[in-house]
Each structure stands twice: as structure tokens, then as C-alpha cells.
Amino acid sequence: MFEGNATLMLPADAPSPSRTRIDPRAIRPSQAYRLLTASIVPRPIAWVSTRSVEGTHNLAPYSFFTVASSEPPILQITSIGHKDTWRNIVDTGQFVVNIGTETLIDQMNTTSAPFDSSVDEFEAAGLTPIDSEVVAAPQVAEAPIAFECEKQLILEVGNGTIILGLVVGISMSNDVLADDGLPDFGRLAPPSRLGRTEWGLAPQTTIRDRPRATG
């Protein structure tokens, strides 16, 4: 993996087991990408649906994804390079973050292909677009959770574009909700992205109450 100009620095007196030290300035961007995505795991997947100004539906998974703010609710995705999703969000200011399930892994993977912008990924993956309540971008009918978003801010950082979206609408399938009205992780069973071509399945869970301040 770290052939070429990679610099591996192993101190002569390193204890056993030794550690591999890597100078990120000495490896190629593709090597850095593989190292980061194999280390920062598991990563939740935002299955982002948009509509172009011409009316073509677009759908693509993004594993550089997190919550940026809860008040107001803002989601964050990062696109490596300027793809159709980025272009549609820039042009229309709207998108939907769908949350997929393990049963949809093949369709999610299909929509990661570099289709031409004229291709409707819903059709390519055999999925059903349905109208959102607030935004013009469609939702994935088969996905149990959808967050309708309006563009809040776009930042260019290195080779990535950070897209922040204000959540203006939420829809959830009752089948994945627990008694408290929140999604149940076991029922939702969302897949995650790992390194290489690996995907993660919903793992076992454990509970730890957050410690309270003392003294």
C-alpha cells in the first residue's frame, strides 16, 4: 500500500509490538484516502437524493457524514470532488438525506457508480422516488428515514466540499420506531462503510449512562 514515496519511520528502540509511523506528506493522496477510510470506521451513510434543474433525479451514498448542529438541526456531508449531488445542491439549494438499511446495501452500492448526469439513479437501482413534503428533491420510498434539507453553507476544504443542510422536514417509517418515538437501531439496521470494499452490518449494542458531574 505504501510503495513509492511513502516514508515509514520505525524507531530502532521501539518496543514490541512495534508501531508503523507514516508521514502523511510523503504518501500519495490515494494512499491517504485508503488509510483514512480504513481507520475512521464505521461511517454512517447519507443516501443523498437531489433533483437537477432539468428535473433529473440523482441518488448517491456519502459516508463522510455527520450531524453538525442540533439547534437548529443541520446535517453535514462531504463530497470528494464536485459530483452531480454537489451541482444539484448548488443549483437548487435542496436535497434529502435518506437512511438506508442492510436490505438496501446492493441498491446503495449501485448508486455509488459514476453515472452520467443524465442518468436517473432511482431507475438504475430499481428504487421508487416519492415526493417530499417541503423540498422539491425526492425521497427514496424504500428507505425508512428521510431528512429534507435546504442548503445552509458550502465550504471548500482541500479536495473536499463540505455541504451543510438545514433540516426542514423529517419522515420516518413507523416500522423502525421504538415505544419512545425514536428510531430503534435494531429495527433500522443501517449499514455503514468501512475500508476498501467492505460494508458494515448493524453491530451488537451496549448501554452506558453518561456520567454526571460530581463535586
C-alpha dist (Å) from residue 156 to 112, 149, 164, 199: 22, 19, 12, 27
Domain ranges of the chain: 45-190
Q: What pLDDT digit, counting tens, does each position of 154-172 carry?
A: 999 999 999 999 999 999 9
Write down the pLDDT at residue 12.
52
Write down the pLDDT at residue 50.
98
Q: In what side-by-side order are the strands of the sheet with 73-80? A: 57-62, 46-51, 94-99, 145-157, 160-172, 73-80, 65-70
Write down the pLDDT at residue 4.
45
Write down the pLDDT at residue 17.
75
Q: How many angstroms separate the CA atoms of 1 and 99, rounded?
A: 32
The low-confidence residues of the chain, meaning pLDDT below 50, are 1, 3-5, 7, 10
Residue 178: HSE in the Cβ half-sphere, 13 Å Cα cutoff: 8
C-alpha dist (Å) from residue 45 to 5, 11, 93, 160: 32, 38, 21, 17
Q: What pLDDT digit, counting tens, does each position of 33-75 carry?
A: 999 999 999 999 999 999 999 999 999 999 999 999 999 999 9
**CATH code reported for the domain at 45-190:** 2.30.110.10
Q: What percent of the chain has pLDDT over 70?
A: 92
pTM greater than the 0.85 cutoff: yes
